[in-house]
Structure 1
Amino acid sequence: MDFERLFISHPSFFETKKDSEKIIGIIGGGIAGLALAIALQKHKIRSVVFEKDESFDSRHQGYGLTMQQGGRALKTLGLSQNIAENSVSSHGHFVFDSEGYVILYWMPEEKKEREDGWTSGRNCHISRQNLRHILLDALDPDYTNVVWNSKLDHFVEKEELVELWFKDCDSEITVNALAGCDGIYSKVRKKILGDDLSYLGVFVMLGIFDNSKFSLCQDRVIQMSNGSTRVFAMPYDKTRWMWQLSFPYDYDASISLSSSGSLMLKETALELCKDFANPFLNMIEETSIDLITGYPVYDRDPLQAVLKENSLITLLGDAAHPMSPFKGQGANQALLDAVILADEIKKNENLKVAMRKYENNMIERTKNKVLGSRMGVSTLHCKEFLDTEYQLERRGFGNSNSAIELINSIRDQGIKCDDDRFLELIKSNRFVS
C-alpha cells in the first residue's frame, strides 16, 4: 500500500490541529469520490481518498458521459471551463430502424456560448477517464490525499469516529466520518445495508472507435434498433466515438458472456447487428477488441429512508443509487451528491446531522432517475420504439403531424441514413425541440 508515502509526505495530515477540524474518509476514487474531495477542499475540509486501483491508469478507459444536471456541480467545483475545453459537443439526435430509415430526429435550438464555456442547446460529452483526470488534477494536497492500492478490508464505527482497516496493512486509519463512493459493488453498502442487486434482464456492450470514416457521426447522437437490439452512438473524445449495444438477455447467459473475453463480445455484437444498415455495422467492425467491454445491467430499488440516524457513514454515486445507463444520469447525480454532501458538512457542525440531510436530498432527487432508467429497459427494447408517434410521445413532443409527414416523406423517397441526400435534407428540415 501507499500509506507509508502518505505519512512521510504529510506527517501531520492526521494530526488534528483544532478540535473543530475534521477528516472525511472517502472509499473510492471514481467520479463521486474525487468530486467529494474537491467539494470538501472548497470548504477547507480535509479528506483522504482510498482507491483500490494500483494507479490512475490501471483502470479500463470506461465509456463516455453526457453532462446534464452534473454541469451545475462542475460549475460549483470551478471546473466548467476545464470541462468545456476537454469535451466534445453534439447538436442533434437521430433514431433509425435497422434498415436505415429515420424514425425521428430533433435538434435543440442553438444558443450562444456562455462565459463558462458551455453552449446551451448542445450536449457536452466527455470520457469518464478524462473527467476523472480533471478531478484528480484539481485536488489540493494540503487538504486531500489519494492513497492508491488501498483495498478496504473492514471498518468499525465508534461513537464519534470510524476506524478503517485495509488489506496488507497492520494498523487502522481513523477518520471523523466515512463516505462510501465505491461503486455498484460497494463494500461499504454491503456491510451497512446488505441488499442485493437486481438484474434488469438486459446486457450492454460498449466500444470505442475512430469516427473519421463516418460522416453521420459528426456532431450528432444516433441510434438504431430492430425493436429488440439497440445501438446508441455518441462522441467520446476529439477523434473517437463510442457505441453502446443493448439487448434483452437471460441472466446466466449474461454472466457467461461478460466473462468470455472481448473477441467473443465483438463476435456476438456482429451477429446481433448483422442485418443493421451501415454505418452501424461498420462501426462495430472497425472497433478494436481491446476497446470493447460488456456487462449485465443491474440496479437497486431507490432508498426509502435515510441510513442509521446516529451513523457517521453515508453513500454516494453508484454505491447509493445504482441505475441502468439508459438515462445517462449516474455520473451527473454522483457529482450533485458530492457538492450537496460537502455543503451540508460545512453548514452542520454535527456530521451525523449533515449526512442525514444530504441523504434526504439524495433520496428525493435520485429516486425518479433510478426508476426512469429502469423503465428504459422496456421502452428502448420494444417494437413500439420503431414507431414515429411512439417516439414523439416518448420525447414529450405530442402528436406532431408535420413531423410525421416529414418522416414519411423521407421514407417514401427511399432515403436512408447512409444516403448523402439525408444529411442535405435535414439541413433545410430542422425539427427543433
Structure 2
Amino acid sequence: MCLECQGRGKKSRGLTKKARLHYQIALDQFEKTNGEGTIPVPPKGHLHSCPKCSGSGLLRSASPPIADKENYPHLAIIGGGIGGVALAVACLHRGIPFTLYERDDNFEARSQGYGLTLQQASKAIEGLGIFSLEEGVISTRHLVHTTDGKVIGEWGIRKWIQSDAKIFQKRTNIHIARQSLRLALLQQLGGQDSVQWGHQLVDFKECEGKGVDLSFQVDGKIKNAKADLVVGADGIRSSVRRLLIGDDSTPLHYLGCIVILGICPLKALEGLNSPLLDSATVFQTANGNERIYIMPYASDSVMWQLSFPMPEEDAKALSAQGPQALKEEARRRTLWHNPVPQILEATLEAQISGYPVYDRELLEPELLAKIQKVTLIGDAAHPMSPFKGQGANQALLDALSLARIISRGCRPSSQWRKVGIRESVLTEFESEMLERSATKVNDSAAAAQFLHSEIVLYEGDEPRGRRLKNK
C-alpha cells in the first residue's frame, strides 16, 4: 500500500482560501438563524492522482506484505468468485489478515466461462495490482442492427475518431473471460492454494466481543473457524445473505426473460468474411422481442448472449433441458443476417448455458445492520441483470472500497475492537456501496425491459438506454 495516499490513489490538494471563506460565511449565517434550515456541509479539498503510486494506491514490492494480525480484523471471505478474490487481494496489499473460503472443490469445478466487460472497474483493477490484462480484448466499435442487417446505431472510438490508434485504449471497454480475470487475481494471492476449497458455509454465530464462529461442511464433516468480520461474496443465492436476513425479506425477483449464452471460436468460422468478427467490434441485433449481443471473448473467440421474454416456469424448464435444447431454441429464434446464424451453428453445445434472469429488491441499510460483524458484497448484496454489464464491475469496486475503509477505520489508533467494526467500518462502507450500486441495479432492470421492446429499434448513434434518459 502506498503510504503517501494511504492506498487511496488520490491525495487532497487542501482547501482554497475562497472555499474556506464561503463555508465560514454559510456557517455564521446558520448560527445566526439559531440552527434553522440545513447545516452547511464542510467542503472537501480537490483530489488529485497520487504521484508516488500513479493513482493505483499501490507500490511494487519484492515480497507480499505481512498480515498485521494485531491491529487489523481477521476477515472470513465467503466465496471465491470475482468479488471474493478481489477483496482478498485488496486485503493482502494492505496487510489485512483474511481467509478465503469457496464451496467448489477446485478452480475448474464449475463452468464459469462467460465474458465480462470492464467499464468503471478497468481503472479499479490497477488498485488490485493488475496493470496489464494479457487476456483482455479492447473493443473500439459498437453496432446495433435490425434482423436484416441494417445498421441503426453505431458508436465507439472508430466512429468518432476514425482511428485504430492504441493511444485511445483508456477510453474503451475491456472484454475478458471471467475465469481469466479470476485467475489473474488469484495470481496476486500467490496461486490457487490461497483458497480454502471445498468449504460450504453452514452457519455463523456472533459471539459477544469475540468475533464470529463459522461452521463449514468439508468432505461430509463439520469444520469450525473464527473471524472478526464475515464478508459474504457468494453470489445471487448467497448463503451468508440467507443466514443474515433470510430469503423472505428480499426474495429473488424474476425480470421476465431468459438468457442463453455461448462461446464460439473464430477458427470454426473460417471462410466467413465479416468485419464484425475483427476481435474489436461489439454488435447487437434485435427485433423488439429477441435480442442477441455478441462481443469479443478473447482474441480468437466471441461470446454471444441471446435473450427474450418468457414466463418464469417456461424459462426454468428450458434451462433445465440443457445445452442441446438451448441451442435449438436459440437457432430457431435467430434466422437473421450474417454472421449470426453461422456463429450459433458453430458453437459447441458444451459451450452453451442458459438461465432465467433475476435480481432482488434494493437492500435497506437497516437489514444489513442487524448483525454487527457481517456484511455483503457483489451479487450477494445487489444482484442485477446482465444487460448493463455491471455485476463484476460493482463487485470489484465493492472489494476495493471495503479494504480501503478497513485500512483507514481500523488503524492502530482507532480502537475498533472497543468501538465495534460496524461503527468503525461497515456503516460507511455499506452506505457508499448501496448508494453507488442502486442506480446500476435499477438501470439493469430497466434494460431487461427496453432491450426486448420497440425502443431498441430506434435509429441513433448511442447506447439504447440513453433514449429513456433523454425523454
Please indicate the TM-score interval, normalised by the length of the shorter structure: 0.7 to 0.9
- Cα distance in 2 between the residues matched to 1:119 and 1:390: 20
Q: Does the CA contact (< 8 Å) of 2:122 and 2:174 recur in 1?
A: no
State the alpha-carbon separation in 1 of the partners of residues 347 and 170 from structure 2. 32
Residue 137 (structure 1) aligned with residue 187 (structure 2): yes
Task: Please name the residue that 1:262 is paired with.
Answer: 323
State how 1:170-319 maps to structure 2 within 5 Å: 170-194=222-246, 195-212=250-267, 213=269, 214=272, 215=274, 216-218=276-278, 219-274=280-335, 276-306=336-366, 307-308=368-369, 311-319=372-380
Q: Does 1:96 align with 2:148?
A: no
Contact 1:392–1:398 (8 Å) recurs in 2: no
1:121 to 156, 159, 171: 171
Whether contact under 8 Å (2:386, 2:444) holds in the other structure is: yes
Distance 1:259 1:135 in 2: 32
**Corresponding position of 2:27:** none
What is the CA deviation profile of residues 105-137 of structure 1, one whole-angstrom value per residue up to 9, with x for unaligned ones?
Answer: 1222469657xxx81233211000000111111
Contact kept, 8 Å, 1:40 with 1:46, in 2: the verdict is yes
Partner residue of 1:67 out of 111, 118, 137: 118
Structure 1 unpaired stretches of 5+: 1-15, 400-433
Match of 1:352 among 404, 417, 422: 422
| Structure 1 residues 171 and 295, CA gap change in structure 2 (3 angstroms) | closer
Say whether residues 1:372 and 2:443 are aligned partners: yes
What amino acid is aligned across from residue 359 of structure 1 in structure 2?
E
CA contact (8 A) 1:384 1:390 kept: no
Structure 1 residues 396 and 253, CA, compared in 2 at 3 Å: closer, same or farther? closer
1:363 aligns with 2:421: no
Partners of 1:264 and 1:253 in 2: CA distance: 13
Report the alpha carbon displacement of residue 21 of structure 1 after superposing the two structures with TM: 4.2
**Is the alpha carbon distance of 1:146 and 1:398 closer, same or farther for their aligned partners in structure 2, counting shifts above 3 Å?**
closer
TM-score, scaled relative to structure 2: 0.76
Please say if residues 202 and 249 of structure 1, whose CA atoms lie closer than 8 Å, have aligned partners that are also in contact: yes
1:293-329 alpha-carbon deviations (Å, 9 max, x no partner): 0000000122232511651000000000000000000
CA shift digits 1:368-420 (9 cap, x unpaired): 00000000011101123212159677446999xxxxxxxxxxxxxxxxxxxxx
- Deviates most, 187-196 or 368-377: 187-196
Question: % of aligned pairs identical?
Answer: 40
- Residue 120 of structure 1 aligns to which amino acid in structure 2? K
8 Å contact from structure 1 (residues 64, 242) kept in 2 = yes
Query: Which residue number corresponds to residue 78 of structure 1?
Result: 129
Aligned length: 376
Residues 161-197 of structure 1 show CA distances to partners (whole Å, capped at 9, x for unaligned) of: 1111111334410111100000000011011122211
Q: Measured at CA, do residues 360 and 166 of structure 1 come closer, stay the same or move farther in structure 2, by a change above 3 Å?
A: same
- Residue 281 of structure 1: CA displacement? 1.1
Distance in 2 between the 1:48 and 1:258 partners? Answer: 34
Q: Distance in 2 between matches of 1:316 and 1:17?
A: 23
Query: For the residues of structure 2 that align with 1:181 and 1:149, how far apart are their CA atoms?
Result: 15
User: Any stretches of 5+ residues in structure 2 without a counterpart?
Assistant: 1-66, 411-415
Q: 1:388 is matched with which residue? A: 459
Q: CA deviation at 1:261?
A: 0.9
Shift of 1:147: 0.4
For 2:365 and 2:468, how far apart are their aligned partners in 1?
A: 35
C-alpha spacing 1:111/1:333, structure 2 compared with 1 (3 Å)? farther
Partner-residue secondary structure (3-state), 1:124: strand
Q: In 2, Cα distance between the equivalents of 1:392 and 1:269?
A: 24
- C-alpha distance in 1 between matches for 2:407 and 2:352: 42
| SS of residue paired to 1:120 | helix
User: Would the aligned equivalents of 2:68 and 2:96 in 1 still touch at CA under 8 Å?
Assistant: no
The partner residue of 1:105 within 143, 146, 154 is: 154
TM-superposed CA distance for 1:217, in Å, is 1.7
Contact conserved, 1:41 with 1:140, CA < 8 A, in 2?
A: no
**Does the CA-based 8 Å contact 2:153-2:461 persist in structure 1?**
no
The 1:138/1:389 distance shift into structure 2, 3 A limit, reads closer
Q: In 1, are the aligned partners of 2:251 and 2:361 still within 8 Å (CA)?
A: no
Report deviation, 1:90.
1.0
Aligned equivalents of 1:224, 1:347: Cα separation in 2: 47
The secondary structure found in structure 2 opposite 1:130 is helix
- Distance change in 2, residues 1:173/1:242 (3 Å): same
2:321 is paired with a residue whose SS is: coil
Letter in 1 for 2:187: D
Q: Structure 2 vs 1, CA of residues 263 and 39 (structure 1 numbering), >3 Å: closer, same or farther? A: same
Say what the alpha-carbon RMSD is for the aligned residues: 2.3
- The CA distance in 1 between the partners of 2:383 and 2:187, in whole Å, is 26
- Note if 1:31 corresponds to 2:82: yes
Distance (Å, rounded) in 2 between the aligned partners of 1:310 and 1:187: 15
